[in-house]
Each structure stands twice: as C-alpha cells, then as structure tokens.
Amino acid sequence: MSGQTVVVNLPSDSVTGIVLAGGASRRMGRNKALLPMGEASMIERAVQAIGKVSSRVIISTNDPKSYHFLGVECVLDILAGKGPMAGLHAALGASNTPWNVVAACDMPFIHEQFLQGLLNLAITQDTVEAVIPVVQGRMHPLLAVYRREVMTSLERKLQAEQYRMVEWVEELKAAYVNEEQLEHMTGLDPRKVLFNMNTPDDYEAARGFSSS
C-alpha cells in the first residue's frame, strides 16, 4: 500500500531515537543487526529511519565496536544480562528528551512514516506514558514510543528480576493502537512494518519480500 504524508507536530528536538541492538542472535546464528537488507545493513536501516524523526539517535548495545562505523552514540546496559528491558532502561537513562521512539534492530521494514504516526498520537494524549502498536492481538513494545519517566518503573521491574516486557508495559498508562488505526494514520501495512527476524528462514523471507 502506498504511504500517505504524515505531518509531524512534535519537534524533533523533543525526541530521542533508540535502536535496540543488544540481543545475542542465537537463533539467527550471527549478528542479525549486521545482516544486509538491500543496500544497507539492518542496523543502518533502523538508524536511518529513526534518525528522521528524532534529533539524536542512541544504539543500545553491549558490543559497541560492531557499530563504530555508523558514527552513532552507543550505550551499554547498566543492569547487564537482563535482556531488552535492560537495553531500554540504559538508553532512557542516557536520553534527555521527554519522548523516545524505540525500535529493535531486527525489523527490516521499519519506516519513518510509521514512527511519525506513533509520535503524533503520543502528543495528543497528555496523560499517556507510552504508545504501543497492537497487531493480530499482540503488543509490540519494541517498536513504540515512551516517555523518559517510565525508566523508574522499568528499573523496579529489573531489580525485582521480572523480565517480561509485556507485563511491564501493561502497568503503564499506555495508548494501544490497533491494526486498523495504524494503517489509517500511517498509510502502511502494520503487519509488514512490525515483522521481525529471529531465524535464517525469517531472514530469507524478508529478503524475498523486500525484493518483490
């Protein structure tokens, strides 16, 4: 589906972009952030898209040497070995903006228009702490928008050794955006945008979809 223009009302200097690249890629068998997808690697695609809607981009990773070629600031986990929640926690700690748009590095079809749509919704909801896509009944907290203040509740969960991200998100004052709303406000297919790669088969499927 062709995209529609999305007007961004939130100044980019009020937004930090966070790319999560801390996974071990065990099921993929190699660092999926560095896998080529078209003319760029996965991490480059994420950084480019998120950089278009934010004034500063942070990569959350415990392997910063792998991403020095990007010239982007890297942030190490403060509470190491605790998965993507720890990566988000560290990046929010490094942020100095009210809103933060977050994307995992394993989404080959991430698009700035989709991110803009989430940000536009965020600023119309004065009391929300997060904007979370929901597709096919499943929340997607790794492509979402968060207020910096949620770092406090995130840290409590980590210190309590509670690492289920969905359970943490359910405790936030979040706006949940369903598939129909996402498509209407972004002009994009949310199932495609939110597709993530975990295995070699996922990667091959994404490459085929991207070239078709």
Closest Cα to residue 21, out of 53, 49, 46? 46
Does 106 carry a binding-site annotation? yes
Any bridge partners for residue 103, and if so which? 19, 143
Does 21 carry a binding-site annotation? yes
Q: Which residue has the tokens 């071990």?
A: 24
Does 20 carry a binding-site annotation? yes
How many other CB atoms are found less than 10 A from the CB of residue 42? Answer: 25
Does 77 carry a binding-site annotation? yes
Does 22 carry a binding-site annotation? yes
Q: Tell me, what DSSP letter sits at residue 68?
A: G
- Rounded Cα distance, 114 and 129, in Å: 19
Does 63 carry a binding-site annotation? no
- Rounded Cα distance, 105 and 173, in Å: 25
Residues of the binding site for GTP: 20-22, 32, 77, 106
Point out the annotated binding site for Mg(2+): 106
Give the annotated binding-site residues: 20-22, 32, 77, 106
